[in-house]
């Protein structure tokens, strides 16, 4: 099933959302690439967004996304099912008490691990604020592809953990390292993006929100939920020799419907 939007210049979501897990207070929802989390003034004509999809496909009276993913980013969105849960978990995010793990495929070979500390503006304020991202390299590949002036092309599979939550933080921090994410049309490398889209059938931003860990607002127990990679990652991981990494965040079959 393809979710069509009016933004014809952008790739469209080619998978449907899924409720991975839910209880009476929270839901963990899988978002495909190029689906808005909620309606915005800048995209009022999009035919679907994640919040509307939840309300249309469940009998829930309240569903408010707590964390925000960029439209082109896939992965885990945490949704409050009541006002108290929204308030308590939002406070955890504000205090940077929620652990967030992302996976990205980037241009070049990254260091084994590192910490990126570069202040960034927020979505509402142009004044740079503290922004910290830690990362570690899970895999490296070199292919005989002359995408630019070099005879070969190098790529890295990187696990990123943002310690803060600035606008486009991971995307801008990896660009700062000169290792932009493949498929990032705003901050990435145009020749590599074009090659992946035209020759590898991969027009999507290769950034995925794969795991969230937080304290459940009603049980006070630590809760970790993972979101499987989109299906379109599988071919790219195979081509780069990272097939085993497709199950990094669990199987795409290990989902369940909310009640």
**Tally of residues, the chain:** 259
Q: Find the catalytic residue in 70, 82, 184, 189.
A: 70
What is the b/e burial string over 192-213, where b = at least 16 CB atoms within 10 angstroms of the residue's CB? bbebbbeeeebbbbbbbbbbbe
Given a contact cutoff of 8 angstroms between Cβ atoms, the answer to whether 51 and 62 are in contact is no
Pairs from 220-229 (Cβ < 8 Å, separation ≥ 24): 225/20, 225/21, 225/28, 225/76, 226/76, 226/250, 227/20, 227/28, 227/30, 227/74, 227/75, 227/76, 228/30, 228/252, 228/254, 228/255, 229/74, 229/103
Query: Tokens for 209?
Result: 């929100």
- Active-site residue 41, yes or no? no
Q: Which residues participate in catalysis according to the annotation?
A: 70
């Amino acid at each position: 099933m393809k979710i069509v939007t009016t933004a014809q210049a952008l790739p469209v979501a080619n998978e449907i959302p899924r409720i991975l897990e839910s209880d009476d207070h929270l839901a963990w929802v899988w978002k495909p690439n190029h689906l808005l989390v909620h309606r915005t003034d800048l995209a009022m004509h999009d035919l679907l967004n994640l919040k509307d999809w939840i309300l249309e496909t469940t009998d829930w009276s309240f569903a408010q996304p707590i964390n925000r993913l960029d439209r082109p980013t896939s992965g885990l969105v945490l949704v409050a099912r009541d006002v108290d849960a929204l308030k308590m978990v939002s406070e955890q995010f504000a205090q940077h008490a929620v652990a967030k793990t992302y996976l990205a495929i980037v241009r070049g070979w990254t260091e084994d691990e590192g910490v990126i500390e570069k202040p960034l503006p927020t979505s509402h304020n142009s004044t740079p604020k503290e922004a910290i991202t830690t990362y570690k390299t899970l895999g490296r590949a070199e292919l005989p592809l002359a995408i630019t002036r070099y005879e070969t092309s190098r790529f890295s599979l990187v696990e990123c953990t943002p310690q803060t939550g600035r606008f486009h933080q991971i995307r801008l921090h990896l660009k700062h390292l000169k290792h932009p994410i493949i498929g990032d049309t705003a901050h990435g490398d145009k020749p590599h993006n074009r090659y992946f889209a035209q020759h590898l059938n991969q027009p999507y931003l290769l950034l995925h929100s794969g795991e969230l860990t937080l304290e459940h607002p009603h049980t006070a127990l630590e809760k970790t939920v993972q979101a499987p990679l989109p299906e379109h990652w599988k071919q790219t991981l195979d081509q780069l020799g990272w097939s085993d990494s497709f199950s990094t965040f669990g199987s795409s079959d290990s989902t369940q419907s909310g009640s």
